[in-house]
């Protein structure tokens, strides 16, 4: 069982929002530990929790509260998360969220929960709040009503004997919150941790500070030091490699770790041959300013082009790209005698890939990555994009935040469509990307565009160049705006900008047409492949 040295313990009951509870608490100034019910059951007498409650000397915190996260199961499911009932006897406050609330009702009275009948309740819900310590400074606002986010199947149909209802929706028909003051147990069926709930984190703050008397124990300033210390601890005498792409996450992480790990850290950037114009040099300069010496690995460029150029199928191209990428990593790791690989993966990526859940500040995957034979360290696995952007500022990496649009790992290889990738075509899209960027910057719109894609369509069409008919390729310029790339909308360019782009791009002898693409996603994706 992992060490619990925080005041707040979050029991993860399978919600995709569990990491967000932790993030919101951190935003409020509180650390927390996420633990699975299985881990808790490893200590069925909850003895470990009892020990955690004892005040420790020095910086160690004692456990003061438990939050039960949401989850997708029904309390009636055979495989529903099994929470040890002993937590109810620890005498510390508990906050149940969503499934957490249903479990609290069910465990006190098995007949208190409606099994989901008519599909899940998912989306915004107007909740009416009563007077409760949990809702202090919130129920007074807006006549005691807030818009909250709900995402649940089961619902509580009646509260257990010694509980009272503190929140409802649908004219009092649906129970949205309950409390038992005597036992210090509180619960809400909606999700106070997500930003769609308009409570500005007041509910979690009330729980942590007013109900549990937690003291502020998370300070952003200490985070950099903690990441360094914990990574050093895991690395021991080993040597770690970190691949830096020039994106915010990997560059910031390298900047955090470089001074602490010194020669134990080998940072490098792979020139895949599919990068934007001057990108490798730029990434190297930016990293250098942030204190990171990047080795440029460019001896595999031809291999990337040859390998990706074997197919015009998008997924096959990606597979070829990944295979060469893995090979390069392997060789680089071997040349450095590396024992560990440091990755800049964030909580968001792990949530999307279903890998989030555990919550040591630094997550180390003890399972060895068989392909590389290295242990992975993922120091930013608890952090969200906005937090990493804040850390980036500490290292003067503003340029990455403001001046560079995102760029996919396989880069320009994804932007040659319907024809096999060659060095020559890569050069055409690279130059075109550069020219379009310069024009957009000149017209002061580049900063408002979330991503610009310039792709070559490998279909020959007729054109007229000089005195004769020619066959040539087309370029597509796609400018989009978005918050999270889950959906995008077109960023429409003015006629004068379109004209300037068109006349610049058709100067290339092989290009006869330029299209502009402002299709939304869905149905289109951001990239063409």
Hey, which residues are catalytic here?
Answer: 98, 191, 193
Identify which of residues 303 and 521 has a Cβ nearer to ligand XMP in the complex.
521
Q: Scanning residues 4 to 63, which ones bind ligand XMP (CB under 6 A)? A: none
- The strand pairing partners of 300, in sequence order, are none
Contact 123, 169 (CB under 8 A): no
Contacts of 264 (CB under 8 A, 6+ apart): 235, 238, 239, 240
Stretch that binds ligand XMP, among 301-309, 325-333, 402-410, 433-441 (CB under 6 A): 402-410
Stretch that binds ligand XMP, among 39-47, 155-163, 224-232, 408-416 (CB under 6 A): 408-416
State how far Cα 276 lies from the chain centre: 25
Contacts of 514 (CB under 8 A, 6+ apart): 474, 475, 476, 477, 501, 502, 505, 506
- By the rule CB under 6 A, 410 interacts with ligand XMP: yes
* HSE, side-chain direction, 13 A CA sphere, residue 397: 30
Question: Looking at 181, 196, 520, 525, which residue binds ligand XMP (CB under 6 A)?
Answer: 525
Task: State yes or no: cis peptide before 523, omega within 30 of 0.
Answer: yes
Question: Looking at 114, 145, 183, 521, which residue binds ligand XMP (CB under 6 A)?
Answer: 521
Identify which of residues 258 and 488 has a Cβ nearer to ligand XMP in the complex.
488
* Separation CA 66–CA 10 (nearest Å): 6
Question: Looking at 409, 458, 472, 490, which residue binds ligand XMP (CB under 6 A)?
Answer: 409
Question: Looking at 408, 458, 472, 490, which residue binds ligand XMP (CB under 6 A)?
Answer: 408
C-beta of 251: minimal distance to ligand XMP in Å?
15
Question: Looking at 124, 406, 418, 509, which residue binds ligand XMP (CB under 6 A)?
Answer: 406
C-beta of 318: minimal distance to ligand XMP in Å?
6
Stretch that binds ligand XMP, among 211-219, 273-281, 461-469, 521-529 (CB under 6 A): 521-529
Identify which of residues 355 and 408 has a Cβ nearer to ligand XMP in the complex.
408
- The strand pairing partners of 456, in sequence order, are 416, 475
C-beta of 344: minimal distance to ligand XMP in Å?
12
Structural tokens at position 417? 């469509």
Alpha-carbon dihedral sign for residues 222, 225, 229, 231: positive
Identify which of residues 199 and 249 has a Cβ nearer to ligand XMP in the complex.
249
Contact 274, 325 (CB under 8 A): no
Question: Looking at 451, 452, 474, 479, which residue binds ligand XMP (CB under 6 A)?
Answer: 451
- By the rule CB under 6 A, 385 interacts with ligand XMP: no
Structural tokens at position 243? 């691949």
Stretch that binds ligand XMP, among 45-53, 326-334, 379-387, 407-415 (CB under 6 A): 407-415
- The strand pairing partners of 484, in sequence order, are none
Stretch that binds ligand XMP, among 165-173, 431-439, 470-478, 519-527 (CB under 6 A): 519-527
Identify which of residues 24 and 245 has a Cβ nearer to ligand XMP in the complex.
245
x/- letters, 476..505, toward ligand XMP (CB under 6 A): ---------x--------------------
Contact 70, 19 (CB under 8 A): no
Q: Scanning residues 315 to 354, which ones bind ligand XMP (CB under 6 A)? A: 318
* Separation CA 142–CA 202 (nearest Å): 14
Number of residues this chain uses to bind ligand XMP (CB under 6 A): 11
Query: CA distances (Å), 493 to each of 402, 440, 478, 480, 489, in order?
Result: 20, 9, 10, 10, 13
* Separation CA 23–CA 32 (nearest Å): 9
Identify which of residues 276 and 318 has a Cβ nearer to ligand XMP in the complex.
318
Q: Which residue has 């004219």 as its token pair? A: 171
Identify which of residues 128 and 451 has a Cβ nearer to ligand XMP in the complex.
451
Three-state secondary structure call for residue 515: strand
What is the C-alpha radius of gyration for the chain, rounded to an integer number of angstroms? 27
Q: What are the residues binding ligand XMP (CB under 6 A)?
A: 318, 406, 408-410, 451, 485, 521, 525-527
């Amino acid at each position: 069982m992992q060490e619990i040295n925080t005041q707040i313990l979050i029991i993860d009951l399978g919600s995709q929002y569990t990491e967000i509870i932790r993030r919101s608490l951190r935003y409020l100034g509180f650390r927390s530990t996420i633990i699975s019910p299985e881990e808790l059951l490893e200590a069925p007498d909850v003895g470990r929790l009892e020990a955690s409650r004892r005040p420790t000397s020095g910086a160690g915190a004692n456990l003061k509260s438990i939050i039960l996260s949401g989850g997708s199961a029904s309390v009636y499911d055979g495989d529903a998360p099994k929470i040890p009932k002993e937590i109810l006897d620890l005498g510390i406050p508990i906050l149940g969220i969503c499934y957490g609330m249903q479990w609290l009702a069910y465990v006190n009275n098995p007949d208190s929960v409606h099994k989901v009948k008519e599909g899940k309740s998912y989306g915004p819900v107007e909740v009416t709040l009563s007077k409760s310590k949990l809702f202090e400074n919130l129920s007074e606002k807006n006549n005691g009503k807030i818009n909250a986010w709900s995402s649940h199947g089961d619902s509580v149909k009646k509260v257990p004997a010694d509980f009272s209802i503190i929140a409802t929706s649908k004219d009092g028909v649906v129970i949205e919150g309950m409390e038992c003051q005597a036992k210090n147990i509180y619960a809400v069926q909606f999700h106070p941790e997500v930003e769609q709930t308009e409570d500005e984190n007041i509910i979690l703050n009330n729980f942590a500070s007013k109900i549990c008397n937690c003291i502020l124990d998370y300070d952003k300033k200490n985070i950099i030091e903690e990441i360094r210390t914990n990574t050093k601890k895991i690395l021991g005498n080993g040597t770690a490699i970190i691949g830096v792409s020039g994106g915010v996450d990997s560059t910031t992480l390298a900047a955090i770790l470089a001074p602490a790990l010194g020669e134990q850290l080998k940072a490098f950037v792979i020139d895949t041959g599919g990068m934007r114009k001057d990108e490798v040099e730029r990434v190297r300069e930016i990293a250098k300013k942030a204190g990171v010496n990047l080795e440029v690995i460019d001896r595999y460029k031809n291999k990337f082009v040859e390998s990706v150029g074997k197919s015009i199928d998008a997924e096959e191209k990606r597979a070829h790209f990944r295979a060469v990428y893995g090979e390069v990593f392997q060789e680089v790791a071997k040349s450095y005698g590396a024992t560990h690989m440091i990755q800049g993966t964030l909580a968001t990526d792990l949530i999307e890939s279903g890998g989030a859940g555990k919550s040591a500040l630094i997550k180390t995957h003890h399972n060895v990555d068989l392909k590389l034979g290295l242990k992975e360290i993922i120091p930013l696995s608890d952090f969200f994009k906005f937090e990493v952007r804040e850390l980036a500022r500490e290292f003067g990496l503003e340029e990455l935040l403001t001046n560079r649009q995102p760029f996919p790992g396989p880069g320009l290889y994804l932007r040659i469509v319907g024809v096999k990738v060659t060095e020559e075509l890569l050069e055409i899209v690279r130059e075109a990307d550069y020219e379009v960027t310069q024009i957009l910057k000149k017209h002061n719109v580049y900063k408002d565009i979330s991503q610009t894609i310039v792709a070559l369509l490998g279909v020959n069409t007729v054109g007229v160049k000089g005195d004769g008919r020619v066959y040539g390729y087309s370029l597509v310029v796609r400018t989009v705006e978005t918050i999270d790339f889950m959906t995008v909308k077109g960023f429409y360019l003015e006629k004068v900008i379109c004209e300037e782009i068109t006349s610049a791009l058709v100067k290339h002898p092989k290009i006869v047409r330029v299209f502009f693409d402002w299709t939304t996603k869905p149905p289109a994706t951001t990239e063409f492949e």
